Structure 1
Amino acid sequence: MSLHVQKQWIITPSRLPSVIRRCPKCGMKTEFKNSRKFRVNANGRLIDVWLIYRCSKCETSWNMTVWERAEAGRLDEEEYKGFLSNDPVLIEKYGNDQALFARNKAETMDERSEYSIEERDTPFPGSLEYHMEVHIKIPAGFSLRVDAILVRQLGVSRNKVKTWCEKGLVFNHGQLLSPKTRAKDGMMLQIKKEVLTCPTGDSIIQIK
């Protein structure tokens, strides 16, 4: 990774969380998978929006409430159109929203290990104060800790990342980070490090 160019890490869940609930047709708890479809009902100026889940065994549907009896003016116009067209961005947003699951008293399966990270160059020069500066792009509602991202991308141990944080070497836009901090869209990870170069030209990252 260049010392002078900022990067972007684009985090994409490989699978949206499923819901575990009792299926009335199967007569037992089963996995309900996200159908990637919304259901919208407009009654006058009141709007209901649900995200549809289906039993993996019999296809019985369960609707998770996104909006209930909401006045039309409360909904963003573009988002409302997205509900009608099953916008994939909104599917990802609400299909990963843990607060929404909690409001619906929905038990979710943990799919947090199923995600990919794509690295891209940016045109922005990096600060000489840091070895690494990375812009994070992550879907709203997708819960992932900063240390998990660094472990995966840098090939280091979780304890190593914890040590970096304890030594005050990991930042978000100049503010010190805890390894347990949850990644947010727009976050910029900054790490102060010393880079040594092997005879082969490979870079080895060492803490100061």
Structure 2
Amino acid sequence: MCNILQVRWTISPQTAPRPWIACSTCGCLKPFRSSGKVRLNANGRRLDAWLIYKCVDCDKTWNRTLFERRNLRELAPATLEALQHSDPSWVRAQEFDLDGLKRKAKRIEEPPDAVVAKETVREAVDWAKLEIEIAAKLSANLRLDRLLASELAISRSRLQALHDRGNLNVHPDRSDVLRHRARDGMRIVLDLSDAVDRQAIGHAAIHSEGH
């Protein structure tokens, strides 16, 4: 009989990262938020594309280059359609492209707000281990220990103690894994066979109480 309770947590960040850019109107560095709008410029068979950002204080615009002089033949029809209509899903993926943003700004503000949706993958009545799969298609500014502590209602010190004893394992593993952000595809296994509050932790793992 399987003694593992398996759940999946889908993390959806709410606010897109904000690059800090020199605002000519404010006269200093300011965070800029995405407007959700794409600007295009065609020159023959070449296309330029920008994502328009605005200063959070004065609405001064900044055009973040997505690409320049791209041959139209290189663009998939679906991508071209998304660009022409500022498709929200396509734009959202660009907004959370941290590597692309870091090439444009040295400072990126990442609000930690996120929604965690939970679903049960496999139930087990007399479970002893809890396995949590992380689904996070967009980068979320959530440290793993803070995420687990918040959603399981247990302290970070207890999580660290479980990890130190080998009762909490993360795959893939890395140095100080609990201090790094939760990532898509990550799998956390907690051995709670000796925990008196095992059922309470399992209940928290399955049910969202708000984040």
Same amino acid, percent of matched pairs = 26
Q: In the alignment, what sits opposite 2:205?
A: none
Which of these residues, 188, 193, 203, is aligned with residue 200 of structure 2? 203
Q: In the alignment, what sits opposite 2:187?
A: 188
Distance 2:69 2:160 in 1: 46
Structure 1 stretches of 5 or more lacking a match? Answer: none
Question: Given residue 48 of structure 1, which amino acid in structure 2 is its aligned partner?
Answer: D
Contact 2:36–2:86 (Cα < 8 Å) also in 1: yes
Contact 1:93–1:141 (Cα < 8 Å) also in 2: no
Q: In the alignment, what sits opposite 2:50?
A: 50
Contact 1:197–1:204 (Cα < 8 Å) also in 2: no
Q: Secondary structure at the match of 1:79?
A: helix
Q: In the alignment, what sits opposite 2:161?
A: 163
Q: Residues 203 and 155 of structure 1: is their aligned pair in 2 closer, same or farther, counting only changes over 3 Å?
A: closer
Q: In the alignment, what sits opposite 1:40?
A: 40
Q: How does 1:74-153 map to 2 (within 5 A)?
A: 74-111=74-111, 113-122=112-121, 124=122, 131-153=129-151
Q: In the alignment, what sits opposite 1:9?
A: 9
Displacement of 1:93 in angstroms is 2.1
- Count of matched residue pairs: 196
CA shift digits 1:145-183 (9 cap, x unpaired): 3222212211222232233333332233xx545213433
Distance 2:59 2:99 in 1: 25
Contact 1:196–1:204 (Cα < 8 Å) also in 2: no
Contact 2:140–2:181 (Cα < 8 Å) also in 1: no
TM, length-normalised to structure 2:
0.74
Q: Secondary structure at the match of 1:15?
A: coil
Verify: 1:29 aligned to 2:1, yes or no. no
Q: Residues 129 and 42 of structure 1: is their aligned pair in 2 closer, same or farther, counting only changes over 3 Å?
A: farther
Q: Residues 47 and 161 of structure 1: is their aligned pair in 2 closer, same or farther, counting only changes over 3 Å?
A: farther
Q: Residues 27 and 170 of structure 1: is their aligned pair in 2 closer, same or farther, counting only changes over 3 Å?
A: same
Displacement of 1:202 in angstroms is 5.2
Q: Secondary structure at the match of 2:105?
A: coil
Question: Given residue 131 of structure 1, which amino acid in structure 2 is its aligned partner?
Answer: K
Larger relative contact order, structure 1 or 2 (CA cutoff 8 Å, min sep 6): 2
Displacement of 1:95 in angstroms is 1.4
Q: Residues 70 and 184 of structure 1: is their aligned pair in 2 closer, same or farther, counting only changes over 3 Å?
A: farther
Distance 1:14 1:73 in 2: 34
Structure 2 stretches of 5 or more lacking a match? Answer: 203-211
Distance 2:201 2:120 in 1: 20
Q: Residues 61 and 145 of structure 1: is their aligned pair in 2 closer, same or farther, counting only changes over 3 Å?
A: same
Displacement of 1:118 in angstroms is 1.8
Displacement of 1:63 in angstroms is 1.1
